[in-house]
Chain A
Amino acid sequence: MKILRSIGAWLDDRLGISDTVMPLARHLVPPGAKWSYVFGSAALFCLILQVVTGLALTLLYQPTSSEAYQSLQFITHQAVFGRTLRAIHYFGASGMVLLVGVHMMRVYITASYKFPREMSWISGVFLLFLTLAMGFTGQLLRWDSNGVWSAVVAAEQVGRIPVVGTYVARLLLGGDTIGGQSLSRFYSYHTLLFPGLLLGLVGFHLYLVIRNGVSEPPVAGRPVDPKTYRQWYQAMLKKVGVPFWPTAAWRDTLFGAIVILSIFGLALLYGPPELTTPPSPATINTNPAPDWYLLPVFALFALMPAKIESYVIFIGPILTVIGLLALPFVSNAGERSPLRRPWAVFGSLCVVVFVGALLLLGEQAPWSPKFTAQPLTAGLVHSSDPQVVAGSALFYNKGCLYCHLIDGHGGRRGPELTEVGRRLTPGELEIRIVNGGGNMPAYGGVVSKKELAALVAFLGTRK
């Protein structure tokens, strides 16, 4: 016992745990923060989880364009607990994106970014984008056909930057096509460059929490005045402050543990996302789509007017970054309570609804041709007229069913045609098929007169 105690005392003297670390752990925080303050620390727990599981994955992963796919098959199907490991890393990424978003929303709604915490917000904005960059590059490291096409899509997006776009795209892919050089770059970004920046910035973000203190829960009618705030805050801490550890930290620890256990549970239950086909850029029968947290962006690209798209792809992110960075300077004083800032709350709700709606739409992707549509069955055609039957076959064969819905079968890009025979005369149908219009190709050059008559006959029976 005595020896242990003297070893402890020696370590404490040399490391300065009592002198330096404990005062930090016990620094005073405002009381009453309760559960709304746990999301930032939970995001940090997720980051640590990602670092640890990511490190374990690098022990099993082969970061070369030719072997990554096989090594992922090995991790998923052969390595001891490899499947669970991959799944934790996948759900951990989702958890981190989600918690970073909720944390940011909480900070905005309670205006914790105001004086003197402007730099906390600014470092947080960079952390948000680094988190998304990690999510994107990580999804790409799966290096199946989906990963390969994600890399192409990424290159195409940066390609819209004026003047230097093509060069940036080449830097991203490591050359002018996908190849042996491509994955190495993304691997380096995902495991070295971005994590390095991320961990450094997280350290800075936490340092600022110690320096400026945790923001107190806002009270309506007690605005922030930069002239007196610091003095008031210190006096308040002295009077009613509680030590962070253990009085305030137990909620962070408990919530963090629940988050980690939930991620583990989801990982066991659902496993990692299945790999698609091997990473040959010549495998074109794929349906590239990003993981859920980037689906809103994917949906936005489908829905915005094509004319402004090149500009939006390029200017949109710049404006978003500038707007987010400007926020704590535009409003760094005044009311913090959401009760006195209804527009801030309304704005946050709008963002949630907007992003949520885009996410749902991205999930359904109604703008994509439904390649999996099956030919209409005889029961659905319900006619023995040979011309009508031929028309129904043509309706599938010419790709019409990919975009038009008939009795619940088909795609949703174009108008539903279940009852088109009531709406349009045969003449009107002919004009639309031949000329197209809106988002429909002109089929005039594709169908013969006879085929056109059969299609019109078939559609005429849809009443």
Chain B
Amino acid sequence: MSETDNTAPGPTAEDEPRRDFLVKLSLGLGGVAALAVGVPVVSAVLAPLLQADPQTWRKVGTLADFDIGSTHLVKFENANPVAWSGVSSESAAWLRRDSATAFTAFSVNCAHLGCPVRWEPGAGLFMCPCHGGIYYKDGTVAAGPPPRGLTQYHIRVSGHDVELLTAPIPITDITAS
């Protein structure tokens, strides 16, 4: 029937502005709707970049806990743990007491790909189990693939407490080596 029916109102020149308006209206409103929903969605995706990354002084022990010349593994809590972090909010550092008041703290993350380095007291070296990165006791590279030495944490003595400034996991960028 429709094939022979030429009397049905087809699009005419007068309709043109109206149709144009409706198309623009639907696309515009669609865009606004997508934007309205998109902002919170993209925010959730990008949240880690939008939050500030606080740093906090954490007590890791008292002066009496550390002998001069010895290296200890100290544990501390992240700067801003969430309620459901559990033990995953823990971090660790290698802490050495150099003198009565001076301390050095090294990141446990190998500068190669972030694996945990172990302090071998007999050898006086930090060794990584993943790809065999080895560091001298001052944190400089002794052997293996790490492109730079171990990262250090800020450390201070406050009264009898030894405090460490929490820091991000050190990410080795392409400019190292």
Contacts and interface: CB of A to CB of B under 8 A. Distances in A.
Pairing of A with B: yes
Interface string A422-440: 0000000000000010111
Contacts of A287: 129-130
Contact of A441 (B81, B82, B125, B128): B125
A155 B173 CA distance: 11
B164 to A, nearest CB: 13
Given A178-B169, A310-B177, A282 B85 contact: no
Interface in A172-213: 173-183
Contacts of B145: 301-302, 306, 309
Chain A contact residues: helix, strand, loop or mixed: loop
Contacts of A298: 130-131
A245 interface: no
B123 to A, nearest CB: 3
A153 B130 contact: yes
B147 A436 contact: no
Interface stretch (A82-90, A157-165, A250-258): A157-165
Q: B interface, by DSSP: helix, strand, loop or mixed?
A: loop
A307 interface: yes
B116 A178 contact: no
Interface string B18-56: 000000000000000000000000000111110101000
A288 B130 contact: yes
Contacts of A301: 112-113, 131, 145
A445 B140 CA distance: 13
Nearest to A442: B142
Contacts of B115: 149, 152-153, 288
Interface residues of B, number: 61
A413 B132 contact: yes
Nearest to B94: A284
A66 B114 contact: no
Contact of B146 (A148, A176, A306): A306
A442 B123 CA distance: 11
Given A159-B172, A166-B173, A307-B177, A175 B73 contact: no
Contacts of B104: none
Given A66-B88, A441-B134, A157 B113 contact: yes
B90 A180 contact: no
A169 B171 contact: yes
Interface string A393-433: 00011111010000000000100000000000000000000
A285 B127 contact: no
A69 B108 CA distance: 22
A165 B174 contact: yes
Given A149-B114, A310-B147, A289 B174 contact: no
Given A175-B53, A279-B87, A441-B142, A165 B173 contact: yes
Contacts of A180: 81-86, 88-89
Contacts of A165: 171, 173-174
B91 interface: yes
Contacts of B117: 284
Contact of A306 (B84, B118, B136, B177): B177
A179 B85 contact: yes
Given A180-B81, A281-B90, A399-B123, A441 B171 contact: no
A186 to B, nearest CB: 12
Contacts of A176: 48, 53, 168-169
B143 to A, nearest CB: 4
B172 A66 contact: no
B131 A179 contact: no
A231 to B, nearest CB: 34
Contacts of B45: 171
Given A284-B117, A289-B130, A65 B85 contact: yes
B88 A279 contact: yes
Interface string B67-78: 000000101001
B88 A369 contact: no
Contact of B124 (A152, A306, A438, A446): A446
B95 to A, nearest CB: 13
Contacts of B85: 65-66, 179-180
A95 B108 CA distance: 35
Contacts of B127: 369, 371, 399, 402
A346 interface: no
A327 to B, nearest CB: 28
B174 A371 contact: no
A64 interface: yes
Contacts of A302: 130-132, 145
Nearest to B79: A177
A143 to B, nearest CB: 8
A166 B90 contact: no
B123 A310 contact: no
Contacts of B131: 298, 301-302, 367-368
A284 B92 contact: yes
Contacts of A288: 115-116, 129-130
A155 B53 contact: no
A310 B174 contact: yes
8 contacts: A65-B84, A65-B86, A143-B88, A156-B114, A177-B169, A279-B87, A282-B90, A311-B174
Given A162-B174, A284-B116, 13 more contacts: A66-B84, A153-B114, A161-B174, A169-B169, A171-B49, A179-B80, A179-B82, A306-B146, A367-B132, A369-B132, A399-B122, A400-B123, A402-B127
Interface of B: 45-49, 51, 53, 73, 75, 78-92, 108-109, 112-118, 120, 122-125, 127-132, 134, 136, 142-147, 166, 168-169, 171-174, 176-177
Q: Please name the 10 residue pairs, one residue from A and one from B, whose CB atoms are nearest each other, closest first.
A: A66-B86, A399-B123, A176-B168, A180-B85, A441-B142, A284-B116, A159-B171, A180-B82, A282-B92, A397-B122
